[in-house]
Structure 1
Amino acid sequence: MRDGSGRWVWAAAGGLVVAVGTAYFLLPLEGLGKDRSRLGWPLFALCLGLLAALLLRQVRYVVLEKPHTRPGVMIPLLMCLAVLVFSAGYYALAQRPGQFTGLSTRVDALYFTVVTLATVGYGDITPSGQEARLVAVAQILYTFIFLTAAATALSRRLHAVVAARDRRTPPS
Structure 2
Amino acid sequence: MTQSKRASESRTLLTDLVLPSDTNHHHTIFGGKVMAYIDKIACIAAMRHCRKPVVTASSDSVDFLAPIKAGEAIYLEAYVTWAHRTSMEVFVKVEAENLLTGERRVTAHAYLTFVALDESGKPTSVPAVIPETEEEKQQYRDAEERYMLRKKRKQRWKM
TM-score by length of 1: 0.27
- Give the structure with the larger helix fraction: 1
Bigger relative CO (Cα 8 Å, ≥ 6 apart): 2
- Give the structure with the larger strand fraction: 2
